[in-house]
Amino acid sequence: MSASPSGSVEHMLRQVTPGRYDAYEALLRALATPSSGQIWMLLWHGQAGSPDAQYGNMEVDGFSYAPCVTSAQELSASGWNRSYEVVDGLDVARTLYPDHYGLWLNPHAPGGGVGIPWLDLRRIATGLDRQPAGPLSLAEPAIEIPQFYALLAQHAHRTPALRALRRAWVQPALGAPYLAIGLDVYDTSPAAVDSVRAMMQQSIGAVPEGLPVSTVAMTDDYDPVVMWMRASARPFYDRESHAPAPQPQLQASPQAPAAGYGYPPVHGGY
């Protein structure tokens, strides 16, 4: 087999081992790059380009993946005798993640290949640098910043588009931890969005220097931080209760990541 060019999906795949999140991120970047991210999608039904073309499907630990191979040589080695199509990883990511499908690379390989969960395909589709690198450790914030929360609740009460506020402490697999504020809004019109952005700008001065703060829209059904907040974080401001919500006892211990997020075991097949 000929050597893969440095930076290609196949080259980066060879670097991935359990716990090597940096190598995994490099693989995601290769998949997101049109010049290096081509993959061979295995078609269970139909021909490439036909309306009835259908990707293969495999299930690992209860989650669905579409299998693919990383080169013509790997296609031959896989023994796949049905059709296939050669596509950019970026296009596949955009197709698969809304249906909660991941991508499994070289399931025929020794060890079973590597699975890319659908939430990481979403990162590829929307921009890797716009979302934190998983798997995420999510918890109630343990840091005490009552002035910021009080000021934020005060400004939120004066922002009619804002229904409620939640919070989470997010520790990415790579990068610094940060405080996430979940924005639950009644209205997503440009004027409403501008008013909520102004609310955050008016309050951010109360954040201690050096503490990163980010926001997430609670309407985002694909964001793992949002999914965790919906399941585990009570609002610390709730307009419909006409008062700040009761404060839960803050815990520093991390909670389990949102379901379906992270790195599946290196095994599998089709």
CATH tag for 141-241 (out of 3.30.1480, 3.30.870, 3.30.300, 2.40.50): 3.30.300
Those residues whose C-beta lies under 8 Å from the C-beta of residue 103, and which sit 6 or more positions away, are: 31, 39, 65, 66, 68, 89, 92, 93, 96, 115, 116, 121
d(CA 198, CA 37): 39
Give the single-character DSSP code of 66. Answer: E
Give the single-character DSSP code of 255. Answer: B
Domain ranges of the chain: 9-130, 141-241
Give the single-character DSSP code of 243. Answer: B
The class (CATH top level) of 9-130 is: alpha beta
pTM above 0.75, yes or no: yes
Torsion sign over Cα 75, 79, 80, 82: positive
Q: Which pLDDT tens digits describe the chain residue by residue (270 residues)?
A: 444 555 589 999 999 998 899 999 999 999 999 878 899 999 998 888 888 889 999 999 999 999 999 999 999 999 999 999 999 999 999 999 999 999 999 999 998 999 999 999 999 999 998 889 988 999 999 999 999 999 999 999 999 999 999 999 999 998 999 999 999 999 889 999 999 999 999 999 999 999 999 999 999 999 999 999 999 999 999 998 855 544 443 333 333 333 333 333 333 332
Q: Residue 165: what are its φ and ψ, rounded to 5°?
A: -130, 135
Neighbours of 216 (CB within 10 A): 19
Neighbours of 236 (CB within 10 A): 23
9-130 and 141-241 in the same fold: no
d(CA 206, CA 253): 25
